[in-house]
Amino acid sequence: MSSEINTNKKYWKPQSKGWFAAAILSFVVAVEVDALVPNVQAVNTLYYRIILAAFVAVLLILWTAPGIASKFRSKLYHYSQFITAAGLTLTVLDLLTTKSDILKLPFFPGPAQVIEALFTERNMLFICTVHSLRLFFAGLACGVIFGVVTGVMIGWNRQWNYWLYPVLQVVGVIPPVAWIPIALIIFPTSFYAGIFLLVLTSWFSIAFMVANGIVSTPKEYFEVSRTLGASERFLLFHVAIPHAVPSIFTGIATSAGTCFMMLVIIEMIGAKAGLGWYINWAKAWASYDKVYASIVIMGVAFCIILGVINVFRNYFLRWQKGILRS
Amino acid sequence: MIEVKGVSRIYYDTLGLPTEALLNVSLEILQGEFLSLIGPSGCGKTTLLRLIAGLDLPQVGELLIEGRAIEKPSYERGYVFQQAALFPWKTVEENIAIGLKARHIYKEKKDLVPEYIRLVGLDGFSKSYPHELSGGMMQRVAIARALINEPKILLLDEPLGALDAFTRIELQNTIRRIRSETGTTIVLVTHDVDEAIYLSDRIAIMTARPGRINEIINVEIGSERDRNQDAFIKLRRRVLEKLHLAGEIYTNVRGAGEAI
Is residue A38 exposed (0-12), middle (13-18) or buried (19+ Cβ within 10 Å)? exposed
Q: What is the pLDDT of residue A154?
A: 95
Q: What is the pLDDT of residue A4?
A: 52
The predicted model gives B200-222 an average pLDDT of 87
Name the DSSP letter for residue A3.
B
CA distances from A147 to A141, A259, A306 (A): 10, 14, 19
Record: contact A221-B90, CB cut-off 8 A: no
pLDDT band at A68; cut points 50, 70, 90: low
pLDDT band at A319; cut points 50, 70, 90: confident
Name the DSSP letter for residue A39.
P
Residue type, A299: G
The predicted model gives A304-322 an average pLDDT of 88
**Domain coverage including residue A170:** 122-320
CB-CB neighbours of A129 under 10 Å: 18
Element (H, E) at B24: strand B18-29
Cα end-to-end distance, chain A, whole Å: 28
Residues A284 and A193 in one domain: yes
pLDDT band at A125; cut points 50, 70, 90: very high
The predicted model gives B123-136 an average pLDDT of 92
All residues of chain B having their beta carbon less than 8 Å from the beta carbon of residue A242 are 87, 89
Q: Residues of B near A (CB-CB distance < 8 A)?
A: 53-55, 72-75, 77-79, 81, 83, 85, 87-91, 98-99, 101-103, 129-131, 142, 145-146, 149, 155
How many Å lie between the alpha carbon of A228 and the closest alpha carbon of chain B?
4
Q: What is the pLDDT of residue A265?
A: 94
What is d(CA A14, CA A16) in angstroms, rounded to the nearest whole number? 5
Residues A105 and A169 in one domain: no
CA distances from A226 to A85, A95, B102, B145 (A): 59, 71, 9, 12
Residues A218 and A281 in one domain: yes
Residue B260: is its pLDDT beyond 70? no
The predicted model gives A236-247 an average pLDDT of 95
CB-CB neighbours of A113 under 10 Å: 28
Comparing CA positions, the residue from A121, A133, A101 lying closest to residue A37 is A101
Question: What is the overall mean pLDDT for chain A?
Answer: 90
Nearest CA in chain B to A235: B102
Mind listing the pLDDT tens digit for each residue in B151-203? 999 999 999 988 888 889 989 999 998 888 888 999 999 988 999 999 999 99
What is d(CA A277, CA A284) in angstroms, rounded to the nearest whole number? 11
Residues A293 and A151 in one domain: yes
Q: What is the pLDDT of residue A15?
A: 80
What is d(CA B138, CA B142) in angstroms, rounded to the nearest whole number? 6
3-state secondary structure of A146: helix
Residue type, B88: P
CA distances from B52 to A17, A280, B28 (A): 69, 71, 11
Domain locations along chain B: 2-76+153-229, 86-150
Mind listing the pLDDT tens digit for each residue in A140-176? 999 999 999 999 999 999 999 999 999 988 988 899 9
Backbone angles phi, psi at A213, to 5 degrees: -60, -40
pLDDT band at A322; cut points 50, 70, 90: low
Record: contact B78-A228, CB cut-off 8 A: yes
Residue type, B149: N
Residues A110 and A149 in one domain: no
Asked if residue A28 belongs to a domain, the reply is yes
What is d(CA B205, CA B196) in angstroms, rounded to the nearest whole number? 10
Residue B74: is its pLDDT beyond 70? yes
How many Å lie between the alpha carbon of B217 and the closest alpha carbon of chain A?
29
Cis preceding linkage at B210, omega within 30? yes
B87 vs A221, A229, A321: nearest CB = A221
All residues of chain A having their beta carbon less than 8 Å from the beta carbon of residue B101 are 234, 238
Q: What is the pLDDT of residue A5?
A: 57
What is d(CA B76, CA B252) in angstroms, rounded to the nearest whole number? 41
Backbone angles phi, psi at B22, to 5 degrees: -140, 135
Q: What is the pLDDT of residue B252?
A: 47
| Domain count within chain A | 2
Question: Apex CA B214: angle with CA B203 and CA B234, to 5°?
Answer: 50
Comparing CA positions, the residue from B239, B47, B18 lying closest to residue B157 is B47
The predicted model gives A251-276 an average pLDDT of 92
Residues A136 and A93 in one domain: no
CATH (domain of A274): 1.10.3720.10
What is d(CA B29, CA B46) in angstroms, rounded to the nearest whole number? 16
The predicted model gives A11-16 an average pLDDT of 81
All residues of chain A having their beta carbon less than 8 Å from the beta carbon of residue B131 are 319-321
Record: contact A227-B79, CB cut-off 8 A: yes
Do the beta carbons of residue A250 and residue A244 sit within 8 Å?
no
Of A120, A155, A186, the one marking the end of a domain is A120
Q: What is the pLDDT of residue B246?
A: 54
Do the beta carbons of residue B51 and residue B69 sit within 8 Å?
no
B102 vs A223, A230, A318: nearest CB = A230
Residues A186 and A203 in one domain: yes
Residue A31: is its pLDDT beyond 60? yes
Asked if residue A307 belongs to a domain, the reply is yes
Record: contact B87-A242, CB cut-off 8 A: yes
Q: Higher pLDDT residue, B229 or A299?
A: A299
Asked if residue A11 belongs to a domain, the reply is no
CB-CB neighbours of A7 under 10 Å: 7
Q: What is the pLDDT of residue A9?
A: 74
The predicted model gives A290-305 an average pLDDT of 95
Residues A97 and A155 in one domain: no
Residues A251 and A136 in one domain: yes
Mind listing the pLDDT tens digit for each residue in A175-233? 999 999 999 999 988 899 999 999 999 999 999 999 999 999 999 999 999 999 999 99
A223 vs B55, B99, B149: nearest CB = B55
What is d(CA B5, CA A171) in angstroms, rounded to the nearest whole number? 54
The predicted model gives A135-139 an average pLDDT of 96
Name the DSSP letter for residue B255.
G
Label residues A156-192 b or e (16+ Cβ within 10 Å = b).
beeeebeebbeebeeeeeeebeebbeebbeebeebbe
Decide yes or no: CATH 3.30.70.20 for domain B2-76+153-229.
no
Of A64, A93, A120, the one marking the end of a domain is A120
Name the DSSP letter for residue B225.
-
What is d(CA B131, CA A326) in angstroms, rounded to the nearest whole number? 14
pLDDT band at A324; cut points 50, 70, 90: very low
Do the beta carbons of residue A268 and residue A295 sit within 8 Å?
no
Mind listing the pLDDT tens digit for each residue in B228-248? 888 888 888 888 888 876 555
What is d(CA A137, CA A134) in angstroms, rounded to the nearest whole number? 5
Asked if residue A325 belongs to a domain, the reply is no
All residues of chain A having their beta carbon less than 8 Å from the beta carbon of residue B91 are 319
In this prediction the ipTM stands at 0.88
Asked if residue A2 belongs to a domain, the reply is no
Record: contact A228-B129, CB cut-off 8 A: no
Question: What is the overall mean pLDDT for chain B?
Answer: 87
Q: What share of chain A is helix, strand, coil (3-state, %, to 5)?
A: 75, 0, 25
Residues A171 and A275 in one domain: yes
3-state secondary structure of B210: coil
How many Å lie between the alpha carbon of A243 and the closest alpha carbon of chain B?
8
How many Å lie between the alpha carbon of B74 and the closest alpha carbon of chain A?
5
Residues A46 and A187 in one domain: no
CB-CB neighbours of A246 under 10 Å: 17
Q: What is the pLDDT of residue A74?
A: 81
Comparing CA positions, the residue from B59, B66, B76 lying closest to residue B3 is B66
B83 vs A220, A242, A321: nearest CB = A220
The predicted model gives B4-25 an average pLDDT of 87
Residues A57 and A111 in one domain: yes
What is d(CA B9, CA B211) in angstroms, rounded to the nearest whole number? 9
3-state secondary structure of B235: helix
What is d(CA B70, CA B72) in angstroms, rounded to the nearest whole number? 6
Residue B96: is its pLDDT beyond 60? yes
